[in-house]
Chain A
Amino acid sequence: MKNNIRDLKIFATDIRITILKGLKGLGFGHVGGSMSMVELMAALYGECMNIDAKNPDWEDRDWYIQSKGHAGPAVYATLALKGYFPYEEIYTINQPETNLPSHCDRNKTPGIDMTTGSLGQGMSTAIGVALGNKLKSKNNYTFLLLGDGECNEGQVWEGALFAPQHKLDHLIAFIDSNKKQLDGYCKDICDLGDIRQKFEDFGWHAQEVDGHDIEEIINAIEKAKAVKEKPSMIVLDTEKGRGCTFTEGVLFNHHVKFTKEQADEAITALENYKEML
C-alpha cells in the first residue's frame, strides 16, 4: 500500500462529511446508497486508481463507472476532495444549473467518466470502455460499481455473459451489497441469492469482502489485478446509510429528507470519529 490505512479512513470520513455538506442545502437526497459505498471510493481514489485530477481526460487513466448513478453525491464528494473541481461546488448539488446533478453525467462533471442513472446500463458502457482500451492495447483498468438492487436488471446479466466471453481481465466490478433497494430489502423484492456465486457461475473471478474495510477492498483489488483472461467481481458486504446518524439502521433510507440540524449532528459525529482515528 502506498498510503497508511489511517489516512484512508480519514479520507473516507471526509467523503461522508462532504456528502452531507453537499446535500444539506436541499435537505434531501440519495443518502443511503451514497454512504454504503464510501470505503470503496476511499480505496479507489485514495490508493488504487491511476488518475490525474488535473487531467481528467488523460487517455491512459483508469476509468471509474458508477452504474448506480443515483449515488452521484458520493463520487462528487470524492472528486471534490481530490481536486477535480473547486470544493465549494459541492454545495451546488441539484441546485439550478449545477454541474453536480443527482445522477452521474459525463458531460457535466470533471472526473465523471460515464453518464448513468437508468440502472443496468453502466454495466454495458463499462464493458465497452474496457473492450476499447483492450483493442487499443492499453493496460489501464475499468472499475465499475453496481448496486445490488440494480442486479434485478436483465442488462446486468447480458453483460455478465459478455465480459467473460471476451476475456475482459482489466474490468474490475463491484456490487455495493447493502441489501436494500428503494422499496425495502432485496431479499423480499427480487432475491439475488448468492450473488458472488452467480457471477462465478457466469465465468467471473468473484470475491466477497467487508465493504467497510478499506484494506480488505484494496487487497481484493490487488488479487483481481492478478487474474488473467477473466473479468473480476468484488461483492462489497455493506450497510445502507452507514456512518450517518440519521440513516444508519433506518429501513427506508434510499432517498431521505432531513433537517439542517440532523445534517449538522451527523457531521459533528463524523468529525468526532475522525479525531479518534
Chain B
Amino acid sequence: MSIKIVNDIKPEDQEMRAVFAEVMDEMASKDERVIYFDADLMNSISMMGFSKKYPDRTFNCGIQEANMIGTAAGISAVGMIPFVHTFGCFATRRVLDQVFVSAAYAKLNIRIIGSDPGVTAAFNGGTHMPFEDMGLMRGIPEVTVMEPTDTVMLADLLRQTKDMYGVFYIRLSRKKADKVYENGSTFTIGKAITLREGKDVTIIATGIMVAEAMRAAEALQKAGISARVLNIFTLKPLDTEAVVKAAKETGAIVTAENHNIINGLGSAVAEALSENFPVPLERVGIKDLFGEVGSVGFLKKRFQLTAEDIANRAQKAISRK
C-alpha cells in the first residue's frame, strides 16, 4: 500500500464508469483471458467501445442475470477471467443463489461489478436502490466485498483482482466521485486507510461517505474535537485490527455508509467492537428503509448521510463515553 491523499477533496474530472472502461480495455489488451459479461447495461457503464474492440470476449447476455452469473462461473472453470456487470440491486439480490452455489461454493473465480449503489441510483428510485447489496454478499463465505472510493482506487482494485482468485463484489458508483487519493496510490485489499489522525473519536467511512467524513472531521476540528478518519473500502474481510486500534485510541466510533446500517459497515464494525473492545458506536447510514427517487444531494439529506449528520453523531458518540 502506497497512498497519497489530496490536499483538497473535490469532484474528479472523469466519471467512475469511464475509468472502469479504460482499465477493462487495458487489462483485456494485455490478457486474453479477460472476459466481460453484462445484462443489457453496457451502455450505462460506458462499455460499448470495449464490446466493439473485443467482440469475441464481450457477452451481452440480455436481461438475464441468473444465467449471466452461472455462465461467468462456468467460463472461469476453463481458466478465463470474467468480469460481470449489472446494477447493484440485480448483481446481488436477484442472483444471490447463483453467486452462492455456482460461484462461491463451487470455488470458482468471478468479479461482480454492481453499479449505482445506494442513493447513487438517484432517479431510478426504490426498486433500483441497493441498500442491502454489501450485506447480502457479506453473508456468503469467502466473498471479498469492496467499495472503491474514487477512480484511483477503482483502477488499482480492478487490476489487483484480475490476478487474484475467488469471488469479488465491487460496488461502484458510475458517476464522478470526490477525489481522495492522488494518482499512483496503491491499496491493500482488506486494510483500512487512515485519512486523518485524531484522538477523540474515529469516523469509519466507505464509498461516497468518505468525503463526507472528511468534511465532518473538518467541522469537528472547528468545534475543538479531534476526529480520526478511516476509509474501510473492504467490507469483507474487515480490518478488525484497525477498528480495535481506533476504539482503544479514540474511545468512540462512528460508521458512515451509503447502505443499510443492518448488515453493512455499521454491523461489521459493531461485530468487531463487541467481540474485542466495546466502545460507544453510532451508525450513520440507511436506517432500514427503502429507497426513493431524487438527486443524490436530496437523498443524502433525506436519509441523513451528510457531513453534518456524521459530525452530530460523532458528538453523540463522544458524549456516551
Contacts and interface: CB of A to CB of B under 8 A. Distances in A.
Contacts of A146: none
Nearest to A159: B67
Interface stretch (B53-61, B121-129, B182-190, B271-279): B53-61
Nearest to B107: A107
A49 interface: no
Contact of A114 (B35, B61, B72, B77): B77
Contact of A128 (B70, B105, B107): B70
Nearest to B67: A158
Q: Which of B35, B77, B100 has the most CB of A within 10 A?
A: B77
Given A107-B106, A114-B77, A128-B76, A121 B64 contact: no
B71 A161 contact: no
Interface stretch (A11-19, A74-82, A132-140, A260-268): A132-140
Interface in A41-96: none
Contacts of A135: 35, 56-57, 75, 80
Contact of A120 (B35, B61, B66, B107): B66
Contact of A155 (B70, B74, B106): B70
B97 interface: yes
Interface residues of B, number: 30
A129 B76 CA distance: 8
Nearest to B74: A128
B5 interface: no
Contacts of B97: 118, 121
A124 B77 CA distance: 12
A187 interface: no
A132 B74 contact: yes
B75 A131 contact: yes
Contact of B64 (A115, A116, A136, A161): A161
A114 B74 CA distance: 8
B195 interface: no
A114 B79 CA distance: 14
A257 interface: no
Contacts of A124: 66-71, 73-74, 98, 102
A121 B79 contact: no
Contacts of A161: 62, 64
B6 interface: no
Interface residues of A, number: 32
Interface string B75-96: 1111110000000000000000
A115 B66 contact: no
Given A132-B77, A135-B57, A125 B71 contact: yes
B98 A128 contact: no
B101 interface: yes
Nearest to B64: A158
A81 B84 CA distance: 39
Given A127-B70, A155-B66, A115 B75 contact: no
A185 interface: no
A132 B106 CA distance: 17
Contacts of A133: 78
Interface string B131-159: 00000000000000000000000000000
B102 A125 contact: yes
15 contacts: A106-B77, A114-B77, A124-B102, A125-B70, A125-B73, A127-B70, A128-B73, A128-B74, A129-B77, A131-B74, A132-B78, A132-B80, A155-B67, A159-B71, A166-B59
Given A129-B77, A132-B75, A159-B71, 18 more contacts: A105-B106, A106-B107, A115-B101, A118-B97, A121-B102, A124-B73, A125-B102, A126-B74, A127-B70, A128-B72, A128-B73, A128-B76, A131-B75, A132-B74, A135-B35, A135-B80, A136-B78, A154-B66
Interface of A: 105-107, 113-118, 120-121, 123-133, 135-136, 154-155, 158-159, 161-162, 165-166
The 7 closest A-B pairs by CB, nearest first: A128-B74, A124-B70, A132-B78, A158-B67, A115-B106, A125-B74, A158-B64
